[in-house]
Structure 1
Amino acid sequence: MLLRSLRPLVRAVTYTRWLHLVIGAIVPLAAGLIYPGLSSPTLGDWLIAAALPVPVVAALALVPSARRAEGLQARLMLFPGKHARARGGKVLVDAVTGVSAAPSASWADRGRTALWLVFRMEAGLVAWIVSIWLLQCALVLVDTAVEEPVVGSLTPPAGPGTAFLAPLPLLVLLALVVAGGRLDEKVARRLLGPSVKERMTALEEKTERLLERNRIARELHDSLGHALTLAVVQAGAARAAKDPEFTDRALSVIEETGRAALEDLERVLLLLRETGRPRGASPGLDEAARLLDSARSSGAQVEAEVTGPVEDLPGPVSREAYRMLQEALTNALRHAGQVPVTVRVTAARSRLRLLVVNPLPEGRPPAVPGSGSGLRGIRERAALLGGEARSGVKDGAWRVDVTLPLR
């Protein structure tokens, strides 16, 4: 218990917080030196010195950058550590400190900044006065030769035998240092914390990061799943055929598919590492011929029909449609085997439709519509683009039908 109570005294943050608090006394002390003067101040003089700078300090809060400066200073002195600094010069709402370093964006932000500046000034003045008084008390108690208090002094009288009481004011001062620093921290979180707008912005950024991670996970699933499915199908077909020429073609397809999967994997890893290296562009629907050729080389009979200017599709629609087609073909090869697959791609002025149909394998029960992570990924991709994806059995065949808006 004793060690726990003494732990704050060995932490540097305790004294940086006290310094941050006492710095606020500079303004009222400077004002008091001008008027009414602090040569022999009375209680009324201290009150005047504390009240005079309030309008000027409150007016300073009207400057938007004042909030940013106070937030950065509070982060640095009240919450020391790597999180105390704005990373890369970017204004952030720090999750560790809970203090915003953004300029004031509303009158509510300016009002809270004004309250913070007034609090720093007044609390700093009180901390400075109390610190000086306690130090004077300790010195007077040590100086046991002084029998009478100095006229006008706030320090208590001392006499012989009172030197052993000298540590008492210092202990009180240390306790006030710890308590004042914690009060300063709590008020900073309250008055310099993020506004509603900043919280919404931070929430939107977090949501975007989560969506980006989900997109990367889907891309890995689609790309690597497609490559592994083709490799397994090709290897099985080559072993069953026992034809050297067919085996060579199968190995070529496996090599090409594996190389493409490695390129996708490297691009996704670059996204995860967030390096400054250029990132390769994701394939679009205009490169769908590669997917169709890979499916055909595995033994599937793919009949494809593309209608409309596929090469002019918006980038996000083209890339997501490519991944949807990849997943639909992968599912057909994985669950149905070497069966005829019909692919219809229709690009109109207002929408894109993607239809993949394959017959159900004999002796195998149909899958539950919408089940599986691949089909769920197709639905999520379509929903993010404002479209719709449906899958299920119709007329004895498995259908994946995707409609995406182009506007």
Structure 2
Amino acid sequence: MASSPALFRQAVQRYAPWLLGVVVAAGVWATATGDMGPRSPLPGVVAVLLAVASGWAAAQVRDRRWPLFLAAAAGWLVLAAAPAGVLASYQAGLRLRGRRLAGYLGGAAVVLAAGVLIGLHMGGMRRLTTASPANALVTAAYLVGFPLLVGLWVRARRDALTAHRDRAERLEREQEARAERIRAEERTRIAREMHDVVAHRVSLMVVHAGALEVTAADPATVEAAALIRSTGRRALTDLREVLGVLRQASPGRTPEPALDALDELIRESRAAGLQVRRRDEGAARPLPATVGRTANRVVREALTNVRKHAGDADATVLLRHLPDGLEVVVRNGPSTGGPALPGAGLGLLGLRERLELLGGRLEAAPVDDGFQVRALIPVADWP
């Protein structure tokens, strides 16, 4: 069921043109009777016909403009009625461009000049209101100039809003495309590293199965070992094919630095002017290469963000060795000022995707006037 605002908008869109037509027709009739201008000496049926025609033309202006322009010219020349002319000038400024707008201005000038000649011929109140120099200039201003400028201003605002909306939608699409590209790159990198780990385990299975096939005396055991060995070899073949596809999709990629390159990364950050301290907690133990590379990426991205947004703040890198994982915390204090570099936040998005694929999690949030990036990388299920 439609909401009240939606129903109101539908009602306005449906009935507003006809309401506008009624207002224009009433204005033309009021001019002919002398309530809004010089009283017309013509028969009343002429005024009725022009009022009805002007109202109908105003109601049809969304679809057709030329009836309104004709009704405006006829209403001014016959009755000196301005309502249709004001609406026509507004619509010209709103919807006409280039030669069509110039053509309207030329036609309006001809109609105004003809109105002056008719006023001079008819004399009386018509001459006073439309043919005297001062009133002719005022008539040109309120009949053509001012409504035309209002229409041009409204059109310029609409064009600007449309341009801003299109630009915002385009930027949003580009942002989504960049985010999707980063997710795909992370999945590709993780899949490549998973290949290394799984291939190592399957290779061990094949070796042990081959040894069991040679040394076992039970025929059933020998048959099972042979099956395991052949299946493992087929799995290794499939893994090599997958790796080949991944390398073709990402040619020329060099291995990422692991955890042993963390000190070098911190030294580079210090050389760049960042004040960084490192702390280690817990008993360190050998970590899988994938875990080390992920930890290095977390620290590198976090320090990059510190340099961008708080280059004068102190930063601490904490590695906490847990029984079932590695916790990496990079925290910086408050910044004392200075310009911040722009960032799109896609680096943290890629890290979060990478950690979720590994079964970990990433948290990034302000804390104590600073900022903290915390990553938990599980290692219990890794060799």
TM-score, with length taken from structure 2: 0.33
Q: Whose relative contact order is higher, 1 or 2, with alpha carbons under 8 Å and at least 6 apart?
A: 1
TM-score (ref. length: structure 1): 0.31
Greater C-alpha radius of gyration: 2
Larger helix proportion, structure 1 or 2?
Answer: 2
